[in-house]
Chain A
Amino acid sequence: MSEAVNAVSVKGIYKNYGDVEALRDMSLDFPKGQLTSLLGPSGCGKTTLLKIIAGLLIPNQGEVYVNDQIVTEPGPDRAFVFQDFALMPWASVIRNVAFGLELRKVAKSEREDIARKYIKQVGLDGFENSFPHELSGGMRQRVGLARALSVDSPVLLMDEPFSAVDEQTRRKFQEELLQLVKNENKTFIFVTHSIEEAVYVSDQVAILLPRPSRVSEIIKPSGFKNKDVDSIRKDSEYLDTVEKIWKSLRSYVE
């Protein structure tokens, strides 16, 4: 069996909401083990594309391939991290984290063991029995991340995961995400509207433009990837890439 180079590919995706054309003939590859950002101004269809990959939206035309298999609905090969965290307010942290496993009929003691491991990994040790309303925004997203990690899917889909947390927490998350990509050997698809964030965390940035929605450019920042987290933000290639993307996007911002 040949090893696929791309963990996820989308081919010729069309999606309309009534008369509005959200995506037109969108094709894109997501290399295995890497983090690809979908970056663009609002209305460019980046979240729509992510939800189609997740199987939460059905495209009007086109296919999504995960490990060279066509997928049309959610599956255990993909896990989703939500912008608004999507935690069940009536359930404790551990039940929220174990929820993906609960839906997969994993026995209670087993799924709680797994959940505990990932709660620890995201740094929420001791909060197992807290409820979402008792946690800060950043901690809630850690719960959302632990839930996505605990089902151990090879592909992680993240929909603006850090946009609802404060700026300091966001920087911390970005640094931790770099470590996660390095250590976990998973494929990450990351939607963001922050240019700095996309360049900082990505192996590949796909720039999407609206009306009609299309991939205008794919940028692969590489020079600073092996530097430590502190020096990336000062790196000249990092700064140049941010500048370059801003120049190509600025005319699309009203």
Chain B
Amino acid sequence: MRIFGFKLPNMTSLILWGLLWEVLGRLEVSFFLPPLSSIFTTLLDIYDSKAFIRALNETAIAFFGGLFYALVIGIPLGIFMGKNRFIDELFLPWVNMFMSAPLTALVPVLMVLFGFGLKSIIIVTTLFAIWIIILNTRAGVKQINRSLVDMANSFGASPIDAFVKIIFGQPCQKLLVESE
């Protein structure tokens, strides 16, 4: 982006928000908002402590576990919804509902159902990530040009090849583009 002819470096907005954070922190607006710099210095103090490693470990497991289930369930479901009208009609209302529902409100219910353990946390992470993955995959599959599939078939693509190179290739591109 350019402002008054100057080319702003990438991540300029990140720097601006970081500065704001630092300033508000030093003004001691709230106990919950320490200055950004003190967070980094504290990180240096505790990064090799047992408690920190354990907490980091738990968060990483929850994050990657949730992401894993969201991808493994979300991408196939999105592909089926994009390709099959019946499956689409069956699932789309639910996907749209959970997409816009305040999922945080469900967290207490999930805690009651699945307890306070890792299982609950992974389920919550999955529920936060899965809907947008389903919708983007579905949109990618729906946009596939019919003649690209014909093209792959005309050159003798096996169903697996056509799937991997055309049907899967395109939504992947869409997922990447959308997250850019």
Q: Interface residues, chain A, CB within 8 Å of chain B?
A: 51, 54-56, 74-76, 78-80, 82-84, 86, 88, 90, 99-100, 102-104, 151
The answer on a CB contact under 8 Å between B145 and A86 is: yes
Whether A74 and B155, one on each chain, are in contact in the complex, defined by CB atoms closer than 8 angstroms, is yes
Max chain A CB contacts within 10 Å: which of B150, B152, B165, B166? Answer: B150
Q: Is B170 an interface residue (CB 8 A)?
A: yes
**What is the CA–CA distance of A55 and B173 in the complex, to the nearest angstrom?**
29
Residues of B within 8 A of A (CB): 145, 147-148, 150-157, 161, 165-166, 169-170, 173
19 chain-A/chain-B pairs, Cβ below 8 angstroms = A56-B150, A56-B153, A74-B154, A74-B155, A76-B156, A80-B151, A82-B150, A82-B151, A86-B145, A86-B147, A86-B151, A88-B166, A90-B173, A99-B151, A99-B152, A100-B155, A103-B157, A103-B165, A151-B155
Report the minimal beta-carbon distance from B160 to chain A, rounded to whole angstroms: 11
B151 contact set on A, CB distance < 8 A: 80, 82, 86, 99
Residue ID in chain B nearest A83 by CB atoms: B147
Q: Tell me whether A103 and B161 are in contact (CB under 8 A).
A: yes
- In angstroms, Cα B150 to Cα A55, docked, is 10
What is the distance, in angstroms, from B168's C-beta to the closest C-beta of chain A? Answer: 12
**How many Å lie between the Cα of A56 and that of B152 in the bound state?**
10
Q: A80 and B156 in contact (CB under 8 A), knowing A86-B147, A86-B148, A88-B148?
A: no
Q: Which residues of A contact B157 (CB under 8 A)?
A: 103
> CB distance A55 to B154 under 8 Å?
yes
- Least CB distance from A163 to B in Å reads 14
Query: A75 to B145, alpha carbons, bound, how many Å?
Result: 22
Cβ of A79: which chain B residues have Cβ within 8 Å of it? 154-155
Contact A56 B154 (CB under 8 A): yes
Whether the Cβ atoms of A75 and B156 lie closer than 8 Å is yes
- In the bound complex, how far is the Cα of B152 from the Cα of A78, in angstroms? 13
For the complex, give the distance between the alpha carbons of A104 and B166 in Å: 15
Q: A74-B154, A103-B156, A103-B161 are in contact. List 18 more A-B contacts (CB 8 A).
A: A54-B154, A55-B153, A56-B153, A74-B155, A76-B156, A80-B151, A82-B147, A86-B148, A86-B150, A88-B148, A88-B166, A90-B170, A99-B151, A99-B152, A99-B155, A102-B165, A103-B152, A104-B155
Q: Which residues of A contact B156 (CB under 8 A)?
A: 74-76, 100, 103-104
A170 to B148, CA, bound (A): 23
Chain A residues, Cβ within 8 Å of B152: 99, 103
B114 smallest CB distance to A (angstroms):
40
Residue among B156, B161, B165, B173 facing the most chain A CB atoms (10 A cut-off): B156
Q: How far is the CB of A103 from chain B (nearest CB, A)?
A: 5
In the assembled complex, the CB of A66 is this many whole angstroms from the nearest CB of chain B, namely 14
How far apart sit A163 and B112, CA to CA, in the bound complex (Å)? 64
Chain A residues within 8 Å of B154, by CB = 54-56, 74, 78-80
Whole-angstrom CA separation of A79 from B156 in the bound complex: 10
Question: How distant is the Cα of A88 from the Cα of B151 in the complex, in angstroms?
Answer: 10
Q: Which of A54, A82, A88 has the most CB of B within 10 A?
A: A88
Q: List residues of chain B with CB within 8 A of the CB of A80.
A: 150-151, 154-155
Chain A residues with CB under 8 Å of B148's CB are 86, 88
Q: Once bound together, how far apart are the Cα atoms of A25 and B176, in whole Å?
A: 49
Give chain B residues whose Cβ lies under 8 Å from the Cβ of A76. 156
Chain A residue contacts of B155, Cβ below 8 A: 74, 79-80, 99-100, 103-104, 151
Query: How long is the Cα–Cα vector from A210 to B165 in the complex, in angstroms?
Result: 37
Residue in chain A with minimal CB distance to B155: A100
Residues in chain A near residue B173, CB distance under 8 A: 90
A83 to B154, CA, bound (A): 14
10 shortest A-B CB distances, which residue pairs? A86-B151, A80-B154, A100-B155, A86-B147, A90-B173, A103-B155, A103-B157, A74-B154, A82-B147, A56-B150
Shortest Cβ distance from A157 into B: residue: B154
